[in-house]
Structure 1
């Protein structure tokens, strides 16, 4: 059973290596939120087909069988048709026939009792049925043509929204990737510092046992050692959280082991310099600007669509089918149909073709108010361009200043790190040679750890500033 379970378990434990670009590509292909947006693109494309289908021929067929269990009646006055009852009997004699003279007939009618005046009768059989084939074709509708164009434009907007989310995903993955790199590098430094401090603690303990140093020196080192172990535990938990966040941003299962192949160093920042001048910046490079252009086009199409409502609508229609009658269901289903429509038939065919023209005349000024609303909406979109341009200009200036500041801080922290490492090295040598104090070593080690933390924090800030600058200039996914 154990072997079968192992054989059927997916190999999630195998490590998978990613560079930053590979991690971004993985996120673009596997992130659930992006898959949802791509599905929305497919829905938008299907919507275009749905609207296009309105302008294609519409054909329908139907069959109905009805039981008129309460037959509709109408009031009829038979006296209005020249008769009010039954024809009285009369006789032509043989003598009249032999006379050779014209015989003039004067018919008389007798109205049965209760049959005089209007009568309620029905013209409906107990069972009726119909079978018909109908078709229609839209010949002209201004709103349909504009709606078809708007649907296509909406598809473009859906695609641009997906591109915007892809850029956001690339930004989030990049920051999470650098966070993991920094956390792993800090773990390495903590391991090195812990090993070095452990060696110094063991040496100091031996020296104390031999009477060369005081127990106070050992206790100081042990306190520093314990604090460093606590820092390592915190860093380990932070590393786990950073990896979990990266996997989440990539759309990767949390059980999957991951290896990052890009090194954490300053080489990726060699080409990062402040631009200082964005006067010639092309706003169209930002996806937000392109989305706003599409929204403006949709607002214009909406306004045209409302105005098209004043135009007439022309539709061609045709119907052909049969109507059947019977005093019972069996007689109705005993179909006797034909083109001659004699009384021997119980199903009679019919056909009609026509053109319908609908001309809007007055709608209570509804379209007028709709046009006013659409004009305001279009004006808001135009104002959105001004606001977006100002926002982009501010982002570019801010990213420029941030890049300059982080690079300056990084250079200073690198110098501090080199100095702190050299001071710690000399302090250890002096202590081992007996010319330095234990307190001096502990202070130097503490300063070194602080310098290391500050350096990698500055490096992370510089990398994040680079990502933000690429995002502001619209070049994040172009690299």
Structure 2
């Protein structure tokens, strides 16, 4: 019994080890560089999945358009019970038929004569058959089985539609690419936001540690009578304010991480770690990198999309004009039909000629070519051509507006980059000065030649300088992202 318990305990320990080993596969934190975060978002962002699904839908629509030019084949079987047969009114007397044929009489004079003997049939209409008669030519049961097919031989609109279909697919692909660029921009900004928030947390922790140490030292000095209690209270107030700032920063960090996970398409319950560090190395080649003279508008996806829209507008105009051209269609039909007194006779399929009078199903077939020539459509196509001309003019105006917008974005981003870098340099100098002033103030206070108020003021100025520096660094990084977006270099595959 003890041996069994020992084995069971071993098995439980082995299972626990397996579970603990497998747990990190889904529970461990994931570390992402900025590039990895963007790549993850490109694969998992829901909005991009929707765009890619739409791209597949558009490809299927192209196949739908192409299918119109392929053979169209249909088959059908109909069985009808004509419980009230169709009837027609027929006057056999008016046609000279339907009565009894009278006997022919040939006289001897006609036989002995030299001329031709002409026999003219005459009829006697029996009583009751004179005048119109109501008849039916339909049996109670009828059926048909038909296979029909058609093939488009020529249609100018169809040929242009094939070209437009390929262009439409290209437009769908570019829309997806535009969505990817927007996601890359959003992820980059959110990523830098988390880096700044994390760095601020670290700085606040360092300040808390330093200020807490100073508070304990001051408390000891107060107990020994070297400083006043007022100095201790001031440091304690400063420490409490710093803790409040630390709590705010922690909540801001959590919100920033949640935003980043949303932009990446990462579930909120997953933990995330950023592998990149916040520093100025990423800004080394940012200053004055925009050259508006050598910039090509085609680098912007918006411009490329507008080019595709212009091509579609031209094809649409050609498609409308092609509606004036004739259409040529080849068609064919083959099938069987039947007309019987009862369903049992209809169900007895005898379709060969050898069945003779007992044959129940009879085949038929036809092949033809149809030519449709448009003559007058109430000026519908003329109005459509007018609309297409206006659409092309709107596309041309769209190019003009987009170029003006891009020019403005380039100059704004260039100015923003220059301004943020200038502010960053100034804030870096301020931070270095604040650090030095705080260091000297602490030394002077510990040596007894400085005041407690001077230390608190220096620490407060240092925290403000740290906040301003990282805010300026964040602004410079965001300005770089927007500059890359303006030049079309944000997401180059």
Coarse TM-score class (shorter-chain normalised): over 0.9
1:171-320 alignment runs, 5 A limit: 171-275=185-289, 277-320=291-334
Inter-partner Cα distance in structure 2 for 1:451 and 1:428? 17
Question: Are 2:106 and 1:112 aligned?
Answer: no
Q: Deviations over 1:201-260 (max 9, x none)?
A: 111111112221111111111111111111010100000010111111111111111111
- The alignment's C-alpha RMSD in Å is 2.4
Q: What is the deviation of 1:84?
A: 5.2
Inter-partner Cα distance in structure 1 for 2:453 and 2:73? 95
Q: Which residue is 2:370 aligned to?
A: 356
CA contact (8 A) 2:353 2:359 kept: no
Q: Deviations over 1:1-44 (max 9, x none)?
A: 99799899784320111111111111111111111111111122
Q: Which residue is 1:322 aligned to?
A: 336
Inter-partner Cα distance in structure 1 for 2:133 and 2:99? 12
Q: Which residue is 2:8 aligned to?
A: none
Q: Deviations over 1:154-208 (max 9, x none)?
A: 1000000011111111111111110000000000000000111111111111111
1:375 to 365, 376, 389: 389
Q: Which residue is 2:108 aligned to?
A: none
Question: Are 2:464 and 1:444 aligned?
Answer: no
Other structure's SS at 1:314 match: strand
Other structure's SS at 2:423 match: helix
Change (3 A) 1:424 1:108: closer
CA contact (8 A) 1:296 1:378 kept: yes
Structure 1 window deviating more from structure 2 (277-286 vs 8-17): it is 8-17
CA contact (8 A) 1:13 1:256 kept: yes
CA contact (8 A) 1:416 1:451 kept: yes
1:21 to 24, 35, 49: 35
Structure 1 window deviating more from structure 2 (309-318 vs 250-259): it is 250-259
Inter-partner Cα distance in structure 1 for 2:89 and 2:242? 107
1:64-83 alignment runs, 5 A limit: 64-83=78-97
Other structure's SS at 2:26 match: coil
Other structure's SS at 2:358 match: coil
Q: Which residue is 1:148 aligned to?
A: 162
Q: Which residue is 1:387 aligned to?
A: 401
CA contact (8 A) 2:101 2:123 kept: yes
Q: Which residue is 2:148 aligned to?
A: 134
Inter-partner Cα distance in structure 2 for 1:112 and 1:206? 144
Unpaired runs of 5+ residues, structure 2, are 1-11, 106-116
With structure 2 as the length reference, what TM-score do the two structures score? 0.90
Unpaired runs of 5+ residues, structure 1, are 93-101
CA contact (8 A) 1:208 1:214 kept: yes
Question: Are 2:438 and 1:424 aligned?
Answer: yes
Inter-partner Cα distance in structure 2 for 1:63 and 1:52? 28
Inter-partner Cα distance in structure 1 for 2:353 and 2:31? 79
CA contact (8 A) 1:83 1:109 kept: no
Other structure's SS at 1:280 match: coil
Aligned residues: 467
Inter-partner Cα distance in structure 1 for 2:56 and 2:190? 30
2:429 to 415, 433, 445: 415
2:483 to 449, 469, 472: 469
